[in-house]
Amino acid sequence: MAEPMRIRATMAGDVADVKVLMNHPMETGTRKDAKTGQLVPAHFIQEVTATINGAAVLNADIGGAVSKNPYLGFKVKGAKAGDKVVVNWVDNKGDKNSAEATIG
């Protein structure tokens, strides 16, 4: 959450190719801290939603098995250059983040 999400959205024909890189530790809750030997508490993004010009295109539920700093790529047909992509996420602690980008 310290660093903002990065979104890159480009057109390939009539399909928008959207790539999102989120910033999050994605702790499963099963990893032991090397120094203390204690379990690092679960802390991971649970939901990611994406809209293009306000219309929902993606609603993802994910868990701790998605790698740290989650990467997500998806494609949307019918989108156009200049359309606005908004991505939101919520994690298991209720923390949120949001970012937007224009399709290039």
Partner 1 sequence: MNALRRNVLKSAAGASAVAVAVAAGLLKPTQAMAAWNKAAFEAKNVGDAMKGIGATSPADSKDITIKAPDIAENGAVVPVEVTTSIAGTNSIAILAEKNAQPLVGTFELAGGAQGFISTRIKMGQTSLVRAVVNAGGKTYTAAKEVKVTIGGCGG
Of residues 11, 23, 25, 60, which one binds partner 1 by CB under 8 A?
Answer: 60
64 touching partner 1, by CB under 8 A: yes
Pairwise CA distance, residues 20 & 42, whole Å: 22
Q: What is the DSSP string of 4-49?
A: PPEEEEEEETTEEEEEEE-----B-S-PBPTTT-PBPPPB-EEEEE
Near partner 1 by CB under 8 A: residue from 72, 85, 87, 103? 72
Tell me which residues touch partner 1 (CB under 8 A): 15, 19, 28, 30-32, 46-47, 52, 55-68, 70-79, 90, 92, 94
